[in-house]
Structure 1
Amino acid sequence: MNEHTAGRHASRGLNRRGFLVTAGAAAAGAALATTLPERAGAAAGPFRVPIEDVRHTRTWMAWPDSTAIWGGKLSGVQADIALIARTIAQYEPVVLCANSGSAAKARLMCGPTVTVIGSIPVDDCWMRDTGPVFRTDGHGGLDAVGLNFNGWGGKQTHARDALVAERIASYAGVPFTYADLVGEGGAIEQDGAGTLMATRSSLVNRNRNPGMSERRLEAAMCEAYGASKVIWFDGVYGQDITDDHVDATSRFLAPGEALVQMPPSTDTDAYARDARRQYSTLSAATTATGRPIDTMRLQGPDYNRIRSTDRDFLASFANFYLCNGAVISGQFGDRRADEAARATLARLYPDRVVEQLNIDRLGTGGGGIHCVTQQQPAV
């Protein structure tokens, strides 16, 4: 979902579904005081979360149906979710989790190429954050890790979403464990070769991991992802529901290669400053093996030229999703920036089709295409 960052208007307050907070916060607030689930014991073998450009078995998604969360925006968001699902299904299988009462509508809107299941109930559509993080061992093994989703620090109701990761792992028939931290998939980027990046604002935060030191949190992240190094960005605290997820600003392309979405030079808000700091930090960083990181710029759109005027809108090209044979990205109506982003993604992924989608309704919730997808890697 993510979710989150770069180049927003300076006047913006709560982003990333800021309008949703009051709908579910009261019901979710008790989650802040709960303890992590009992661990089932780590799976044997050197399991690691691969980089996202590996081949996938399928993509997992979720169908939103709550007017308490989305209000009058729900039908438009559903249309965007269906568009994303149908587009990905041209390239690889898509399994979409829906509540039993809305599964028929999801099937109608998504069409026959998308598999809709009603056996895994959901609260919302942000599968990147609620779904399992799949790991491989390089020898045909696959397992999954849950990040103990708590509604982005108790900001939204999540009784169903908190169980999605474990239930998907069970459906997929793979071993499952819970990580020793609370977080979301959009909060952590991995290069598949031992290096992670994340924002402190999202994870070193008492609304997820109270009393947990950065060093202990780093160790838990590395254990869960099969990594050995974390590159930290400060991030932005308390300005959006995710507390500034990394996957809307900075992404790994390969071990030793990354990109950062840069704001227009005239943008000076907290997210613009954060993006520039992320670029500076990443450009000076090295991977787990000591390799310098070649950091590329992906120019973000001008918020004065995009179609949406919603104050919570996220216009992140960096929040793209890689599926088998394609790059699925947003386009936002700043024609020059949209075309430049398409050209950049085509250059970075020359063997993939670049699909740019109008996801403006989903963007009003402060998320993008990467936020609503979760890949299951092939083994």
Structure 2
Amino acid sequence: MTWRMPAETHPHERSWMAFPVAGQTLGDTGAEREECYAAWTAVGRAIAEFEPLTMVVDPSEAARARDLLGSGVELLEAPLDEFWMRDFGPSFVLDPERPGVLGAVDWIFNGWGDHEWSDWAKAAEIARVIAGRTGAELVSSTLVNEGGGIHVDGEGTVLLTETVQLDPRRNRYADKARVEAEMLRTIGATTPIWLPRGLTRDYDEFGTNGHVDIVATFPSPGHVLLHEQRDPAHPDHEVSREIRAVLAGARDAAGRALEIVELPAPTQIRDEEGLVDWSYVNHYVLNGGVIACGFGDEKSDAEARAILADAYPGREVVTVDARAIFARGGGIHCITQQQPALVPVGAHAGA
């Protein structure tokens, strides 16, 4: 059996998210909590304009979720302690030899390295809950990994980060060979491209230690969208250059050199917590559209929309304010997960 994780541009059956619940991420004040609910709701409503969305919701938040999301979003009640669906949810895969079969990779989730602050025991069960709901075959992994820690082109290439999959708090005894073997077994990745690190803020106390989905992604095979920090006063200026050099020397599963397109960061480089990691790379591609991160910077947001529209021809690019999400440690891609449609791998969904 050969599983293959399709590209995000592959047609979707639906999208998955998780609704906020009381805990570290939600916020300490009433205003912070309302801000969190509003941000997740805005993303959910935007997705529902393009394709079906199922929102996993803790029973304690079911009434609020229904009130905020309305009848256009399906709710699935299950115990939650976190709500970053990309990271603890399943990575869906297809079997090219069995066109009607859906697989769901259940990575081990330990709260981005089992930190003192992380609550993850309930979230770690959600991949199996969703696999059961969708009728997917469970692909149980021995690797501690998160969906935000990988990006694929759908043809066998995967982007990884040395500080994530080789993080001793995640995989104490792993080396690149073991990680690569597991990527081949679970998602059909034949060609790994290892990036040395992620963005600077992602190494703060509440960061992921370098998730790739805020740094680089494949809009199509042979092409990479790369976060570009233009301001030399920000350490990510040098990080972007370092990662670009790695990508420029890489080859994908088809043996191609990668065409790199920069997605410039917003001009604001600080918030009340310090240096930001605001990134337009952390967008979500879905049937007929792209949900892009917005940062209240009209010029930069518009520039990002134009680049994304060129990268994903035939799709409508919609901007949703992502500042409240980034303040909690991630972006729009981090809170979403695609379920691919059961059509041949390599198919693409346009407008």
Q: Which amino acid aligns with 2:280?
A: F
Aligned residues: 331
Q: Deviation of residue 265 (structure 1)?
A: 3.5
For the aligned residue pairs, the C-alpha RMSD in angstroms reads 1.6
Distance 1:179 1:65 in 2: 27
Q: Classify the secondary structure of the residue corresponding to 1:201.
A: helix
Match among 162, 175, 179 for residue 213 of structure 1: 175
Q: Deviation of residue 287 (structure 1)?
A: 0.7
CA deviation digits over 1:299-358, x for unaligned, max 9? 111225x8x544375411100001111100111122221111011111112211110011
Match among 240, 244, 247 for residue 210 of structure 2: 244
Query: How many percent of aligned residue pairs carry the same amino acid?
Result: 35
- Determine whether 1:194 maps to 2:142: no
- Determine whether 1:126 maps to 2:84: yes
Q: Deviation of residue 279 (structure 1)?
A: 1.3
Q: Report the counterpart of residue 137 of structure 1 in structure 2.
A: 95
Q: Report the counterpart of residue 324 of structure 2 in structure 1.
A: 361
Q: Report the counterpart of residue 66 of structure 2 in structure 1.
A: 107
Say if 1:68 and 1:188 are closer, same or farther in 2 by CA, change over 3 A.
closer
Higher strand share: 2
Q: Report the counterpart of residue 151 of structure 1 in structure 2.
A: 111
Stretches (4+) displaced over 3 A: 236-240, 308-314
Q: Which amino acid aligns with 1:246?
A: V
CA deviation digits over 1:102-154, x for unaligned, max 9? 11101111111111121x22112200001001001232221111111110000
Distance 2:197 2:108 in 1: 21
Q: Classify the secondary structure of the residue corresponding to 2:281.
A: coil
Q: Deviation of residue 177 (structure 1)?
A: 2.0
Residues 234 and 275 in structure 2, CA contact (< 8 A), matched pair in contact too: no
- Determine whether 1:286 maps to 2:251: yes
Q: Report the counterpart of residue 49 of structure 2 in structure 1.
A: 90
- Determine whether 1:327 maps to 2:286: no
Q: Report the counterpart of residue 181 of structure 1 in structure 2.
A: 143
Match among 110, 117, 121 for residue 76 of structure 2: 117
Residues 25 and 328 in structure 2, CA contact (< 8 A), matched pair in contact too: no
- Determine whether 1:276 maps to 2:241: yes
Residues 82 and 119 in structure 2, CA contact (< 8 A), matched pair in contact too: no
Match among 232, 238, 242 for residue 266 of structure 1: 232
Distance 2:231 2:273 in 1: 21
Distance 1:303 1:354 in 2: 22
Distance 1:175 1:253 in 2: 27
Q: Classify the secondary structure of the residue corresponding to 2:108.
A: coil
Q: Deviation of residue 189 (structure 1)?
A: 0.7
Q: How does 1:285-324 map to 2 (within 5 A)?
A: 285-304=250-269, 309-311=272-274, 313-324=276-287
Q: Deviation of residue 216 (structure 1)?
A: 1.2
Q: Deviation of residue 244 (structure 1)?
A: 1.0
Distance 1:311 1:116 in 2: 36
Q: Which amino acid aligns with 1:145?
A: V
Distance 1:289 1:201 in 2: 26
Q: Higher relative contact order at CA 8 Å, sep ≥6: structure 1 or structure 2? A: 1
Q: Report the counterpart of residue 346 of structure 2 in structure 1.
A: none
Q: Which amino acid aligns with 2:144?
A: V
- Determine whether 1:63 maps to 2:19: yes
Distance 2:247 2:44 in 1: 32
Q: Classify the secondary structure of the residue corresponding to 2:9.
A: coil
Q: Classify the secondary structure of the residue corresponding to 1:336.
A: helix
Q: Classify the secondary structure of the residue corresponding to 1:273.
A: helix
Q: Report the counterpart of residue 255 of structure 1 in structure 2.
A: 221
Q: Which region of structure 1 is more displaced relative to structure 2, 286-295 or 158-167?
A: 286-295
Gapped runs of 5+ residues in structure 1? 1-44
